[in-house]
Every structure is written in C-alpha cells, then in structure tokens.
Amino acid sequence: MDVKVAKEVKAVTMGIPIFDAVVIVLLMMISKFSMPMLIGIIFGSVIAILNFRLLALSLEKAVDLPPGKAQAYTGVRYMIRLTITAAALIVSIKNPNLHIIGTAIGLISTQVVIFVKTLITSKFKRKEV
C-alpha cells in the first residue's frame, strides 16, 4: 500500500476508537447505554474499519488498471463491501446480544471520523491566497 494511503488509513482507524468512546460517554449521559449497545458499537466499528481498508486496497489497485477494467473491478469490490455491511446489519438484527442502533453507529464511524478530521485540518491549515 502507498505510504500516503497507509498513513491516511491508519489515521482514520485510530480515530474510530476515539469516536466510539465519545459516543459511549454520550450514551451514558443520556442513560441509553447497555452492554448490547456497546457490543454493537464495537462490532459495527470493526466492520467499518474492514470496509475502509478494503476500499483503500481496491482503489489503489484500480488506479493501475485500464478504465473499463477499473470500473468493473471497483463495482465488484463495492458490492462486496455492501454485502459485508448488509451481513453485519442482519447479524445485528438476529443476535440479541447486539443492538442494531449500536451497530449502525459503529458502521458510520468511518464517515464521521473523516468528516471531523477534514473539518479540523481545514480550520488549522493556513489559507493561501
């Protein structure tokens, strides 16, 4: 994996447990915390990290392919990631030890971390004219 991509994947991966901790504290404050919720958040976060890593790997490989093959390759890889996400949600629905909302929170953790990271870096980055 490219050094810059690996660094970005690592930064997002390290931000996900921080996001999870913030969510857990907020849930405790509003008295909605439970063990199935915690397990759901962790389960969803692990799946989100897996999907993000798979995305990075597939995009890195797609860059080296011709346009038609790259489009087909990324489409197939997208369906694989979508299937993994759907399977995680189905497992969460069927398993009483997992809370579906917790799993959903964990699954969106990647997007939230990327958004917050971008927001923070744009605020502290010097604006060029």
Query: Quick one: DSSP state of residue 60?
Result: H
Residue type, 29: M
Q: What is the pTM of this model?
A: 0.87
What is the C-alpha separation between 58 and 70, in angstroms, rounded? 9
Percentage of the residues of the chain whose pLDDT score is greater than 70:
97
Q: What is the pLDDT of residue 49?
A: 96
Q: How confident is the model at residue 62 (pLDDT cuts 50, 70, 90)?
A: very high
The average confidence (pLDDT) of the chain is 92
Domain ranges of the chain: 3-112
Closest residue by Cα to residue 88 from 23, 39, 16: 39
Beta strands in 1-129 (DSSP E): none
Q: How confident is the model at residue 123 (pLDDT cuts 50, 70, 90)?
A: confident
Residue 3 has pLDDT above 70, yes or no: yes
Q: pLDDT (tens digit, 9 = 90+) per residue, 4-59?
A: 888 999 999 999 999 999 999 999 999 888 999 999 999 999 999 999 999 999 99
| Tokens standing for residue 73 | 């390759």
Beta strands in 16-93 (DSSP E): none
Instruction: For residues 105-120, give the mean pLDDT.
Output: 94
CB 27 within 8 A of CB 37: yes
C-alpha dihedral over 7, 13, 15, 19, to 10 degrees? 160
